[in-house]
């Protein structure tokens, strides 16, 4: 009888352990943010990539194509990000966690790392940074800071600025609430202007 009671207690104790063992598995691999942002733009140029030779439309196009093909990009601390740099210098990074973000561009051997730092980026935002310039000192410039955009979706008829501010490459930018229909481009590659060099007309 005593033996039966001991076995019964043992059986009752083992049931919760068995339930724990059969519980849901912990997620494996990278986990995408629940409020992913998209970071898009294009590279205008990189310091040190010009070899100083006489430039023509053809040589400049070839130089920049080689530059963009050699460029690597990644997001510091992000478990999973999709995207990259295209041959025309356009870049897109999807599923980037919101908040404070550091994106690194590398063009070996001249620029081991140039950091694009973004702060206070809201969840589900679309950030557009046109015409960035990769610098040898590890920073990034923007050809025209007024073209930087930080957008969030809202059920409104037309875009409107909010009191919220984000910082992109050291430049403070207002967060713009944007109609839902206009946010469909947030997963599209941006189109940079032509990289052709203006050639004077010979008379």
- Window from 8-17, 132-141, 174-183, 184-193 with minimum mean pLDDT: 8-17
pLDDT, residue 79, reads 85
Q: Using an 8 Å Cβ cutoff, are 150 and 174 in contact? A: yes
Q: Using an 8 Å Cβ cutoff, are 133 and 44 in contact? A: yes
Q: What is the rounded CA–CA span in Å between residue 127 and residue 41?
A: 8
Q: What is the rounded CA–CA span in Å between residue 14 and residue 20?
A: 10
pLDDT band for 58, please (50, 70, 90 cuts). confident
**Whole-model pTM?**
0.79
pLDDT, residue 21, reads 44
pLDDT tens profile 22-37: 445 555 656 677 899 9
Task: Give the mean pLDDT of 78-83.
Answer: 91
Q: What is the rounded CA–CA span in Å between residue 73 and residue 144?
A: 21
Residue 17 clears pLDDT 90, i.e. is over it: no
**Interacting residues of 124 by C-beta distance below 8 A, sequence separation 6+:** 35, 36, 37, 98, 152, 153
Q: Using an 8 Å Cβ cutoff, are 167 and 142 in contact? A: no
């Amino acid at each position: 009888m005593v033996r039966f009671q001991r076995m019964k207690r043992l059986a009752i104790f083992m049931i919760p352990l068995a339930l724990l063992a059969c519980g849901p598995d912990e997620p494996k691999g990278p986990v995408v943010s629940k409020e992913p942002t998209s970071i898009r733009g294009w590279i205008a140029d990189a310091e040190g990539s010009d070899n100083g030779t006489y430039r023509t439309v053809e040589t400049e196009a070839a130089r920049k194509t080689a530059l963009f093909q050699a460029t690597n990009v990644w997001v510091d601390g992000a478990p999973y990000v999709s995207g990259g740099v295209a041959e025309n210098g356009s870049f897109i990074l999807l599923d980037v966690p919101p908040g404070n973000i550091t994106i690194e561009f590398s063009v070996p051997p001249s620029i081991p790392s140039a950091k694009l730092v973004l702060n206070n980026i809201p969840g589900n935002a679309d950030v557009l940074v046109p015409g960035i310039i990769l610098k040898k000192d590890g920073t990034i410039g923007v050809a025209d800071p007024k073209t930087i955009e930080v957008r969030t979706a809202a059920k409104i008829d037309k875009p409107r600025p909010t009191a919220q501010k984000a910082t992109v490459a050291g430049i403070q930018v207002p967060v713009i609430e944007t109609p839902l229909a206009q946010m469909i481009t947030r997963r599209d590659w941006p189109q940079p202007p032509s990289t052709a060099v203006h050639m004077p007309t010979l008379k």
